[in-house]
Homo-oligomer: A and B are copies of this chain.
Amino acid sequence: MSKPLILVTNDDGITSAGIKKLIYLMAEIGEVVVVAPDSPQSGMGHAITVGDTLRINRNDIFGDIEAYECSGTPADCVKLAKYELFPDRKFDLVVSGINHGSNSSISVLYSGTMSAAIEAAIEGMPAIGFSLCDYDHDADFSHIDDTLLHIARETLKKGMPKGIALNVNFPEKREQPIKGIKVCRQANAKFEDAFDEREDPYGRKYYWMVGSLVNHDKGEDNDEWAIAHNYVSIVPCQFDLTGYFAINYFNDEWDI
For residue A1, CB closer than 8 A to chain B, the reply is no
Interface 1/0 per residue, A221-256 and B, CB below 8 Å: 000000000000011111111111111011101111
For residue A173, CB closer than 8 A to chain B, the reply is no
Give chain A interface residues in 168-189, CB to chain B under 8 Å: 180-186, 188
Interface 1/0 per residue, A44-85 and B, CB below 8 Å: 111111110111100000000000000000011001101110
Task: Tell me whether A246 and B242 are in contact (CB under 8 A).
Answer: no
Main SS class of interface, A? mixed
Smallest distance from the beta carbon of A149 to chain B beta carbons, Å? 13
> How many copies of this chain?
2
Task: Tell me whether A75 and B45 are in contact (CB under 8 A).
Answer: yes
> Which one of B163, B242, B256 contacts A180 once the chains associate, using CB atoms below 8 Å?
B256
Task: Tell me whether A47 and B50 are in contact (CB under 8 A).
Answer: no
Task: Tell me whether A244 and B185 are in contact (CB under 8 A).
Answer: yes
Task: Tell me whether A237 and B241 are in contact (CB under 8 A).
Answer: yes
Task: Tell me whether A208 and B54 are in contact (CB under 8 A).
Answer: yes
Task: Tell me whether A46 and B49 are in contact (CB under 8 A).
Answer: no
User: Which residues of B have CB within 8 Å of A46?
Assistant: 45-46, 109-110
User: Which residues of B have CB within 8 Å of A158?
Assistant: 253-254
Task: Tell me whether A243 and B251 are in contact (CB under 8 A).
Answer: no
User: Which residues of B have CB within 8 Å of A54?
Assistant: 195, 206-209
> Which one of B76, B150, B247 contacts A209 once the chains associate, using CB atoms below 8 Å?
B76
Task: Tell me whether B49 and A251 are in contact (CB under 8 A).
Answer: no
Most buried by B among A47, A110, A205: A47
Task: Tell me whether A194 and B83 are in contact (CB under 8 A).
Answer: yes
Alpha-carbon separation in the docked complex, A98 to B194 (Å): 28
Smallest distance from the beta carbon of A110 to chain B beta carbons, Å? 5
**Chain A residues within 8 Å of B, Cβ to Cβ:** 40, 42-51, 53-56, 75-76, 79-80, 82-84, 106, 108-110, 115, 118, 122-123, 150, 154, 158, 161, 163-164, 167, 180-186, 188, 190, 193-195, 197, 204-209, 211, 234-247, 249-251, 253-256
Nearest 9 pairs between A and B by C-beta?
Answer: A45-B46, A236-B246, A43-B50, A238-B243, A45-B45, A45-B47, A236-B243, A185-B242, A54-B207
